[in-house]
Amino acid sequence: MTWALIFVLAAGTYAFKVLGLIVIGDRKLPPVLDRCLALIPVALLPALIVSGTFSVGHDLVIDARAAGVGAAVIAAWRRAPLVLVIVIGVVVTALVRAIS
């Protein structure tokens, strides 16, 4: 991936955000659409985590990353601070990679 492509994608993303502000303006969205838009990050974040954890190219793999994410999920479920959740995930991933 080249820097030119990154800048073009960044400009395109910014243009879409500005276009949304111009088109919608100060109008209120219908409540149904507003609720659906609020759920997009909740669905997108786990999808990105799963695809980044269990895929390499076009292949489905289970490796050290899965153990790290699993440990981080358990730490988050136990209500550990966010920094600790990240550190636990990193340490477990590193340990599994060192062992295998």
Q: Which tens digits make up the pLDDT trace of 39-88?
A: 999 999 989 988 888 888 888 888 899 999 999 999 999 999 999 999 99
- Please give the Cα distance from 100 to 93 (Å, whole number): 11
pTM for the structure as a whole: 0.62
Would the pLDDT of 1 be above 80? no
Give the span between the Cα atoms of 73 and 82, in whole angstroms: 11
Cα gap 45→1, rounded to integer Å: 23
pLDDT at 34 over 90: no
Contact 67, 89 (CB under 8 A): no
Higher pLDDT, 3 or 20: 3
> Measured between alpha carbons, how far is residue 75 from residues 4, 46, 70, 88 in Å?
40, 16, 9, 8
Residues of the chain above pLDDT 70, percent? 100
